[in-house]
Amino acid sequence: MSDSTSMSGGPAASAAISVGAVIKRTFSVFLANLVPFGILALVLQIPALLYNLTTVDDLMVGAEPDFDLGGTVILLVSIVLSYVLMAALVYGTVAYMRGRPAGIGQLISSGLAAFFPVLIIAILASLIMGVGLVLLIVPGVFAIVIFAVTVPAYVVEKPGIIGSFKRSMELTKGNRWQVLGVLVILFVVLLILGSVFGLVAGVAVFTGFGLSLIMIVNYVVSAISSALLAVAVSVLYHDLRIAKEGVDTEQIAAVFD
């Protein structure tokens, strides 16, 4: 299907990115940085694990978890930290592709520096996408595609919150079918990953290891999925800028100097 269709938002204005290349580079960057990215993702999702473990007794007897202020605070903290992770791994991905891998300290500082704007961006994007999906599936998917690189655009270019949404729309224009392809492939990969780990955990529980094991497995899978998604949108942003603007990785990452 041509990018001249409605999904593309108009005639292609730049070279097309390669879906295969984006996916390959995503896994290459992720695996090369598995230790720092993985550790950071696991550490920042510890509050979510603690919250789940506090409800395990209720789940064991089939009861709904009681409202607990402490548990709610833990859950909110875990959501907040997920945005720190997103911003941090955008920086880490671009820095690695530049040839200057970032340490955990650099990742955390960059994540915290962009935290509040990224949090607002994520909330606004979630609302827009959610409304689109509720009203009709197609508008929701369209919103997911056109705003796919909003967070990387902010972390790298700092164009402001609204400017980041506009920047994502600009960069995806002409490559929106390719962006959709990347996101669909990534979704399928993560679905398979979660299913495999879930099956293993389910068998373990059936043999007497307890419900806590499933929660720990879900924690690990969630951390890996969050990290991989952050790397994927960062690579997408990188490749879209190269295809649309003719810049190179050094020029993209120069703002970090």
Q: Is residue 45 part of a domain?
A: yes
Q: What is the pLDDT of residue 96?
A: 93
| 129 inside domain | yes
- 1 within a domain of the structure (yes/no): no
pLDDT > 90: percent of the chain: 38
For residue range 2-13, what is the model confidence (pLDDT) as tens digits? Answer: 343 334 443 344
Residue with the larger pLDDT of the pair 9 and 144 = 144
Residue 41 has pLDDT above 50, yes or no: yes
Contacts of 124 (CB under 8 A, 6+ apart): 161, 165
Q: Is the pLDDT of residue 230 over 80?
A: yes
The arithmetic mean of pLDDT across residues 123-127, rounded, is 84
Residue 113 falls within a domain, yes or no?
yes
78: in domain: yes
Indicate if the pLDDT at residue 167 is higher than 60.
Answer: yes
Domain extent, residue 59, equals 6-256
Confidence of residue 90 (pLDDT cuts 50, 70, 90): very high
The count of structural domains within the chain is 1
Indicate whether 210 pLDDT > 50: yes
Which pLDDT value is given to residue 25?
95
Mean pLDDT, the chain, rounded, equals 81
Dihedral of alpha carbons 104, 110, 114, 116, sign: positive
